[in-house]
A = this chain, B = another copy of it.
Amino acid sequence: MDLLENSGSWLSLNEIENARANLPIVYVDAIPVRVDANGEVTEVGLLLRAMPDGSISRAVVSGRVLHKERVRDAIMRHLEKDLGPLAFPKLPASPQPFTVVEYFPDESVTGFHDPRQHAISLAYIVAIEGECAPSQDSLDLIWVSPDAATSPEFEREMVGGQGRLVRMALAHCGLLP
């Protein structure tokens, strides 16, 4: 979620601070899943991330859409950044997200929380067919069963409401335990 990168239209740190203070920022959330031959989800991928405050959290793939970037390109870019170049993600054919997540600095508004900004995120479920090699600020990636992914143990390790987002994704797949 490095907001400094901005292909083709660089923003200074100051300009980013200003934008964040005045506009909702467009995000994409991608829930990586393994599926069986029939397309049914068998496992959910959770990243291990170092957070800005130094703590460690489980997380899904998430990041900003850049100026003049297609939504599909943004999802692919963040997946490659977090899962490496050989993950071979299969994006859905439709741009319809399974939900829209509204992250607010004040966590009482929606329960989805981002201390830095008001972000509006399009959330997709993405089947991953290749080999993953977590990179950049992702320390690790684990694949867990739908039951494990929605367990209190893992949900406690996720912040900002992402544990709830994982449960919403599994509900959409008919697999909420």
Please list the residues of chain A having a beta carbon within 8 angstroms of any beta carbon in chain B. Answer: 6, 9, 11, 15, 18-19, 21-26, 33, 35, 37-41, 65-73, 76, 90-102, 104-105, 109-110, 118, 120, 122, 125, 127, 164, 167-168, 171-174, 176
Contact = CB atoms under 8 A, between A and B. Distances in A.
Given A70-B102, A73-B38, A104-B68, A174 B95 contact: yes
Contacts of A68: 24, 104-105, 118
Nearest to A3: B23
A94 B109 CA distance: 17
B23 A71 contact: no
Contacts of A35: 91, 93
Given A39-B72, A99-B96, A171 B168 contact: yes
30 contacts: A6-B22, A9-B21, A15-B22, A19-B19, A19-B23, A23-B25, A23-B26, A26-B120, A38-B70, A39-B91, A39-B92, A39-B93, A40-B72, A67-B118, A68-B104, A68-B105, A70-B109, A71-B100, A71-B102, A94-B98, A95-B174, A96-B97, A110-B174, A120-B122, A167-B171, A167-B176, A168-B174, A168-B176, A171-B171, A171-B172
